[in-house]
Amino acid sequence: MRLTRRLIPDIATLQAFECAARHGSFTQAGAELNLTQSAVSRQIKDLESQLGVLLFERVRQRVVLSDAGQRFLPEVRRLLAQSEELMVRAMGAARSDNALSIATLPTFGSRWLTPRLADFLSRHPDTVLNIASRSRPFDFGEEMFDLAIHYGQPVWAHAACHYLCSEVTVPVASPALLERFPATQPGELAGAPLLHLATRPKLWAEWFEATHAPIEGAYRGTRFDQFSMVIEGAIAGLGFALLPRYLIEPELGTGALRVVFDLPIQTENNYYLVIPDGKLENQAGLAFRAWIMSQISNPPA
């Protein structure tokens, strides 16, 4: 993409705008930025000239954002935050030739991947990792990741999807809930409180169908938008949950959650390691791919 230089904003000017908006004062913005009030005022005027809109209005002794300024401010803050993140990441990787940025599903990253990373880093001590959560596919051209962990179908623009594993879910509950609802047949769960993942609203209905149980009531219950919240809700006894075993290994080990019926179902989607075009030969990425495959093939005892 070819950029038009006259449309690229000056970061210092954007900082002056954000600071003045936050303080409601050019003078206080100047004090924070170690500039004079007139210097801040000049930067704001230059930015207004570039945009062709008025960003501030004077009210008594203060400056307040105009309607255009209010619309502009969130985007400026986002751009400044991205710029800061870019510099921090670059500084963090400056001493390593093996920096690796990975986008992972939030709960997969926190509950499965992170506890295992010590093993990867012990094998590759010179690798600097940057881990961030992403729930949906994104454009690798806009977000500078070397790898992504994806749940769904093996489709991602300008990238290759490498199969990691399927997903098997089992019904679980806390011991306290099982005392209240001592189910002996799958169909009895239809009348019990159920917990749902919002992005997979049909999961309980599919489980009831697979176990030849009536599906009435399969859609009732509390919904959460992250597996991590479903897990915490199940531990707290809010309801029965259908969860992948790999996400609840600690809770099953300690007894905080119990498998209600050993009747698992496999979901229609799978997990994939996604590598963008142009990074297929990245040595750090290849090492991570080999490592994560070994972790999936040899789960902890």
Least confident of 171-175, 177-181, 183-187: 183-187
Residue closest to 224 by CA, chosen among 243, 251, 246? 243
Q: Residue 228 above 90 pLDDT?
A: yes
Domain ranges of the chain: 5-92, 97-165+269-297, 167-268
| H helical segments located in the chain | 11-23, 26-33, 37-51, 67-93, 106-107, 117-123, 175-180, 203-210, 227-235, 249-254, 283-297
Q: Distance (Å, rounded) from C-alpha 36 to C-alpha 46?
A: 16
pLDDT at 98: 79
Tens-digit pLDDT profile for residues 141-178? 888 899 999 999 999 999 999 999 999 999 999 999 99
From residue 47, how far is each of 21, 222, 297 by CA, in Å?
13, 48, 56
Structure token digits, residue 153: 């179908």
Question: Are the folds of 5-92 and 97-165+269-297 the same?
Answer: no
Residue 278 Rama label (left phi>0; alpha psi -120 to 50; beta): left
Cα 136 to Cα 50, 92, 156: the distances in Å are: 35, 26, 10
What is the CATH topology of the domain spanning 97-165+269-297? Answer: D-Maltodextrin-Binding Protein; domain 2 (3.40.190)
Q: What is the band of 9 on the pLDDT scale with cuts at 50, 70, 90? A: confident
Fold of 167-268: D-Maltodextrin-Binding Protein; domain 2 (3.40.190)
Q: Residue 300 — very low, low, confident or very high, per pLDDT cuts 50/70/90?
A: very low
Residue 301: per-residue pLDDT: 39
Q: 205-239: string of b/e by CB count within 10 Å (b at 16+)?
A: ebbbeeeebeeebbeebeebebbbbbbebbbebbb
Question: What's the pLDDT at 142?
Answer: 85
Q: How far is CA 34 from CA 20, 27, 80, 146, 157, in A?
A: 13, 10, 18, 38, 45
- Rounded average pLDDT over 113-123: 95
Tens of pLDDT, residues 55-105: 999 887 788 999 999 999 999 999 998 888 778 767 665 555 678 999 999
- Percent of the chain beyond pLDDT 90? 74
Q: What is the pLDDT of residues 283-299, one digit of tens each?
A: 899 999 999 999 986 54
Domain 5-92, what architecture? Orthogonal Bundle (1.10)
